[in-house]
Structure 1
C-alpha cells in the first residue's frame, strides 16, 4: 500500500480524476454545436467584447483551452511531467471559468487549488513534489468536509434536501418518514451533517484517521446510492466527484504519509520564500473566505455549500403569450400555470440539467446574468417578471427578496453584482 500511494501517483490520479469529471460534464467543455447545447448561453465574468473578443472567437478559445487541459493531464499521467503541466492546467481552468461561469463547479475550484499548490511545491531532481504540498492538500480536504457540514446545519437543508436524503433510502425498505413527528424528522436530517463533521474531525488526528477514512468512504458510497437514478437522480458529474472523493480519502489519509517515488534521486530542492508564501496564501484564502459566503462576498460553491439549498437565487416567470418564442429545448423547463394567472415558471435549474447535464450555479449573480441572456436572446424583455432572493437565514430560512416586473427594474437588480457581462 505504501509503495503504491506515492506522491507522483497521486498527481497522476488527480489528473485522471479531472479528465473523468470533464468527461462526465462534457457539455460544459465541448463546443455547443457538438453537444446540442447551442440554445444555452455562456455567461462570462465580464463583457468579452470590451477586450475585442467576439462570440465565435470566444468559442474557439474555449475549445482550444479544453484541449490544452486534456493534453496536460495526459502528460502528467503518461510521461510523469508534472512540473510544467500543473501551471498550464491552473491557468487554463481559470481562463475557462472567465469565459463561462457555469464551469465554476466545486471540483473545478478544487482542481484549480491543487494545481496551484503542485505548481508552487518544491520538487526533487526527478520532479516529485514534496510532502508539505500534500499536507496543505489534506488541510483543504478536511476543510471541504467542515464547511460542507456547517452549511447544512441550516433551516433550509433540514426542511428540504435533508428530508429528501432521509426519505429516499428509507422508502426502499417501506418506511414512510412523513408519518414521523416533525422534531424526529429534523433531528434525523441533522444526522447527515453531523456525520460529515465527525469525518472531518476524525481525519485531523493520526489515532482516528483510519476511522475517518472508513467513515468518509461510507458517506460517499451512501451519497452515491441516494443520488443515483434509483434515488434522487442527480447528474453524472456529482456521481463521479463522490467516487473521486472516496478514493482520495484513502490516498491522502490511509496509513503513513505519501512517499516519494522510488526513482527519486534526491530530496526536494529548497523552495523560494515567494512560492512558499503564495502556497500558504492560497490555502488561507480557501479557508477564510467561506466565512463571508452568507453575506454575499464569496460564492456558495466556493464555500463548499454542497447539497445545501440556502443559496441565493433568481426566479424567472414568462407570460403565456411569450412561450412560443422560447426555443423548443427550453420547454422542458417551463412550469405549469398552477394558479391560472397566465404566468409560467422558467426553472433555470431544470434548464441547466436538461441542456448541459449539470446543475446551474447556485448563485444569484450567475442566475441573473443567465436570465438576462435568455431574455435578450428570446426578445421577451416585456413579457417576463421575477425576483432576486438572497441567501436564506440559517435559523428561520427567510430571504430578502427584490421583485421586478419591468426591464429597468431587472437591470437595476443586476447592478449589485461585480462579475456579470
Structure 2
C-alpha cells in the first residue's frame, strides 16, 4: 500500500477550467454575428495575406479553433488519449491568438504553457505524469504570484487600482479611506502585493506550503469579492480565473491523497516518478519565468509577464471629434466619454469599448491598442477626425510615461512603425 497525491486529475481539471474560461469569454471566441459584438475588429498578429490566408479562410479558422479546443478538452475530461489532445489544444490556441490578439488573455497563455508541458512530459505505463512535471508546474505557478506582486509594487498601482481595492473592501465595514493621510493609504495599498509575495514564498517552501494554500485561497476569494458586481464589477472571465487559481492551489500544493493497492500500479508510478522531464520542458518553464524580466523594457507583453490588475502598462489614448461620433456603431458609443474640457473632443475609451462589446478587458499593450485604433479609424472612416497619443509603460517609482502625440494620419502611422506584431 502506498500513499500519494492524485496527479491524473490535474489534466482533467485544467481542461474543465479552460472550457469554463472560454465559456465566460465566449464573445472572444465566437463570430461577432453570433454574439452581437457588431463590427468589433479582430487584430491579427500580422498581415494574414503574407501567408496566403484570405479573410474568408481566416474567418473559418477563427470559428473552427474554439470548437477544436473544446472537443480536445472534452476528450481529456473523458479520459481519452490525453497526450494527443494537449498538442492539439496548444496549436489551436496559437492559431486563435494569431488570428486575433485580443484572445491573448493571461489564462490563455497559462493554458498554452500547461498544454506544452502535458504534451511533452514522459509518462508511466499507466499514463501518469512524473512528479518532475508537477514540480515544474508548481514552479511556474509560484512565478505567476511573484511577478504579479512585483508588478503591483509600483507607483501606478499604489495610487490607482490599489486605492480602489482598499476603498471597496473598507466600504463594506463602513470605513471611509478618503479621510486617511496619503502615506497611510499608500502603505495600506502596498499590503496587497506584499501579501501576494508572501503567498509565493509560502508555497515555495514545503514546510509552509499548506499555509500558503490557505493564503492563496483567501487572496483569490478576496479578489473575487472585490472584482464582483458588489465591488468593482469586472468581467466574468476575471472572476472565473480567480476561482480556477484558488482551486489550482489546492490541487497542486495540497492535493487529495489516494491509496494505491495494486503492486503493478505502484511499480509503474515509481518508474514515472523516477523519470525526469526533458530539456524542452525545462526550456519552456525557464523561458516563461525569464521573459517577464524584460517587460518594463518593452520586450515582453505585460499580461505574459503576469502584470495583473497593474495599470503601469503601455497604452494608446484615442480621442474623437464630436462630429465623428455618429459614424461609430451605436453599441460603441457607450465608450465615448463626456467633453470635459469643452473643446469638442471626446475620449474613445478602448478598455471600456472592449468590456461593453466583448465582455473582456482590452489587452493592456500599446501594440494591440494601436492596431485596434487603426482598424476602428479605418472602419468608421474618421482618419481626419481623431487624435491621441501612444504611451510607454510607466516608471516604477514616479509613474511617469513617455508619450508620443499624433494629430494627423501620417503621425499616427509613424507611431505604429515602432511595433513589431501588427498587421
TM range (shorter): over 0.9
- Equivalent residue for 1:39? 39
In structure 1, the partner of 2:181 is: 181
Question: Distance in 1 between the 2:392 and 2:183 partners?
Answer: 27
Q: Distance in 2 between matches of 1:369 and 1:153?
A: 29
| CA distance in 2: counterparts of 1:58 and 1:197, whole angstroms | 42
| 1:57 equivalent in structure 2 | 57
SS in 1 for 2:215: helix
Instruction: Indicate the residue corresponding to 2:345 in structure 1.
Output: 343
How many matched pairs? 419
Q: 1:51 Cα shift?
A: 1.9
Equivalent in the alignment of 1:92: 92
Question: What is residue 362 of structure 1 aligned with on the other side?
Answer: 364
Write out per-residue CA displacement over residues 322-344 of structure 1, whole angstroms, 9 at most, x where no aligned residue. Answer: 11111111100001111110111
TM-score by length of 1: 0.96
Aligned twin of 1:417: 419
In the other structure, the counterpart of 2:106 is 106
> Could you tell me how far 1:38 is from its partner in structure 2?
3.1
| Secondary structure of the corresponding residue to residue 403 of structure 1 | strand
Contact preservation (8 Å) 2:158, 2:189: yes
Kindly indicate whether the alpha-carbon contact (under 8 Å) linking 1:40 and 1:355 is maintained by their aligned counterparts in 2: yes
Structure 1 segments of 4+ aligned residues over 3 angstroms from their partners: 2-5, 255-265, 267-273
Q: What is the CA–CA distance in structure 2 between the aligned matches of 1:286 and 1:192, rounded to whole Å? A: 24
- The aligned counterpart of 1:172 is 172
Per the alignment, residue 81 of structure 1 pairs with 81
TM-score (norm 2): 0.95
1:350-370 Cα offsets, whole Å, 9 max, x none, are 000001000000000000000
- Kindly state the Cα deviation for residue 55 of structure 1 after the two structures are TM-superposed: 2.1
CA distances 1:27-81 after superposition (whole Å, capped 9, x unpaired): 0111111001132100000011222222222111111111110000000001342
Stretches of structure 1 that go unaligned for 5 or more consecutive residues are none
**Separation in structure 1 between the aligned mates of residue 114 and residue 297 of structure 2, nearest angstrom:** 26
Matches within 5 A, 1:10-409: 10-254=10-254, 264=265, 266-267=268-269, 268=271, 276-409=278-411
1:189-208 C-alpha deviation (Å, 9 max, x unpaired): 00000000000000011110
Supply the RMSD in Å over aligned alpha carbons: 2.0
Q: For 1:101 and 1:29, how far apart are their aligned partners in 2?
A: 11
Deviates more, 1:124-133 or 1:283-292: 124-133
Deviations along 1:164-220, whole A, 9 cap, x unmatched?
Answer: 000001112211100000000000000000000000000011110010000000000
Q: Structure 1 residues 314 and 6 mapped into 2: Cα distance closer, same or farther (>3 Å)?
A: same
Q: Aligned with 1:83: secondary structure?
A: helix
* CA shift digits 1:215-272 (9 cap, x unpaired): 0000000001111100000000000000000000001001689999979572457999
SS in 2 for 1:56: helix
Superposed CA offset, 1:355-410 (max 9, x none): 10000000000000000000011110111000000000000000000000000000
